[in-house]
Amino acid sequence: MNDPDFFEEAAVTQADAPRRATIHQVAKLAGVSHQTVSRYLRQDGGMKPATRLRIDSAVKALDYRPNLMARSMRTRRTNRLAVILSSTQYFPHRLVLAASAIAHEHGYQLDIVTAEGGAEQRAQRIADLADSGQVDGILSLAPADVPAGARVPVLVSGTYDEEMHSLGELADGSAVSEIIEHLAGLAHRTFFHLAGPQTFASARNRKLVYLEAIARLGLRSYGVVDTDWSAQAGYDAVAALPDDCGVTAVIAANDVLAMGAIRGAFSRGWRVPDDLSVFGWDDDEIARFATPSLSTVIVDREAQGRDAILHLIAAVRGEPAPPTTTHTLNQVVHRESVAPPPHPHP
């Protein structure tokens, strides 16, 4: 292209573009040294609150953004972290969003990498990525062998299995016992369980706890149905109950099943919670705004994301591992979908 007007316009545009604020300008405005600003950006401890507040105000006033490319060339770091998933069929979006937010706060970009195939292929993908120089650390949410002599830290959280099904505390079903004890305290005696697909450890654990609690408390289970995770499955199971089944409480393995169960009850003239109490699991947003709002189990997946990425950042920086979340990840919450049964037993 030989149009002089085009080049002149491009030159003017480039000249008029605002220049990125520098770390020295931030330091001058905050009244500190640029080394102190650098410590602030690295999230180093020991800084006085007043100093941190002045730097924070200067960063916001100047809209300062660290030049990650320059930093990478200087420190030989990429300021990028990778999260390895074994599948995208079940994407742990809440956990990953929380991890990404923490990574950004600490000056890192988070890359999501899918390693298809089995454990051997995933281990090879991790080894290749660790030696590529493209990332400073790797977090695998699925089971994986850590490659020997990896150039960057590799952490395996053990949070999910090969198919990205929950493991560990995410799959803990002990809250079902608390739910049944609460419902029994309201005088419920006959229960029905929508158990979800038994290929999931979380569904298996909730089913086992359900059966144990029913037996331990001397209650009656009309039945357990191994469903998929869909609302249609919950609807069909409740709609198919005999009129004389005596069921007054449904415990569903997730909120989607529970919402289907509520609609199934309405389809046959049963009111929730007047005739039938329903409990879910997961605390999906729609559960809080449904009518009636759904009693459920809040699962703090964000805490697991924060803990995992903070441990990886500490490993990358050669710092001591931070303390992990101490509260239980699963918390029972009571809402409008639960009430005493219409004809309570003494």
The model carries a pTM of 0.66
Q: In whole angstroms, give the CA distance from residue 143 to residue 160.
A: 7
What confidence score (pLDDT) does residue 159 get? 62
CATH value at residue 139 = 3.40.50.2300
Contacts of range 75-78, beta carbons closer than 8 Å, 24 or more positions apart: 77/136, 78/133, 78/134, 78/135, 78/136
| Residues 83 and 194 grouped into a single domain | no
CA trace torsion 239, 244, 249, 255 (10° rounding): -10
| Residues 258 and 178 grouped into a single domain | yes
Query: Domain count of the chain?
Result: 3
Sheet with 109-114, side-by-side order of all strands? 109-114, 80-85, 137-140, 154-156
| Residues 133 and 251 grouped into a single domain | no
Q: In whole angstroms, give the CA distance from residue 297 to residue 334.
A: 9
What confidence score (pLDDT) does residue 134 get? 87
| Residues 288 and 184 grouped into a single domain | yes
| Residues 105 and 85 grouped into a single domain | yes
| Residues 254 and 187 grouped into a single domain | yes
Q: Which of 138, 164, 190 is the last residue of a domain?
A: 164
Residue 125 lies in a domain: yes
CB of 287 within 8 A of CB of 296? Answer: yes
Q: pLDDT tens per residue, the chain (346 residues)?
A: 444 443 344 444 444 445 778 888 888 998 988 888 877 876 656 678 888 888 888 888 888 876 654 554 444 567 899 988 876 566 788 888 999 999 998 889 998 888 777 777 778 888 888 888 889 998 888 777 777 778 898 888 766 655 545 556 667 888 999 999 999 999 999 999 999 999 888 899 899 999 999 999 999 999 999 999 999 999 999 999 999 999 999 999 999 999 999 999 999 999 999 999 999 998 988 889 999 999 999 888 888 889 889 999 999 998 888 877 666 778 999 999 999 998 754 4
CATH value at residue 30 = 1.10.260.40
Where does residue 216 rank: exposed (0-12), middle (13-18), buried (19+ CB within 10 A)?
A: exposed
| Residues 179 and 278 grouped into a single domain | yes
| Residues 126 and 39 grouped into a single domain | no
What confidence score (pLDDT) does residue 327 get? 65
Residue 8 lies in a domain: no
Residue 254 lies in a domain: yes
Residue 329 lies in a domain: no
Which residues have C-beta within 8 Å of that of residue 321, sequence separation ≥ 6? Answer: 311, 314, 315
Residue 317 lies in a domain: no
Residue 318 lies in a domain: no
List the domain range (segments joined by +) for residue 244. 169-300
What confidence score (pLDDT) does residue 8 get? 40
| Residues 256 and 213 grouped into a single domain | yes
3-state SS string for 212-277: HHHHHCCCEEEEEECCCCCHHHHHHHHHCCCCCCCCCEEEECCHHHHHHHHHHHHHCCCCCCCCCE
What confidence score (pLDDT) does residue 226 get? 96
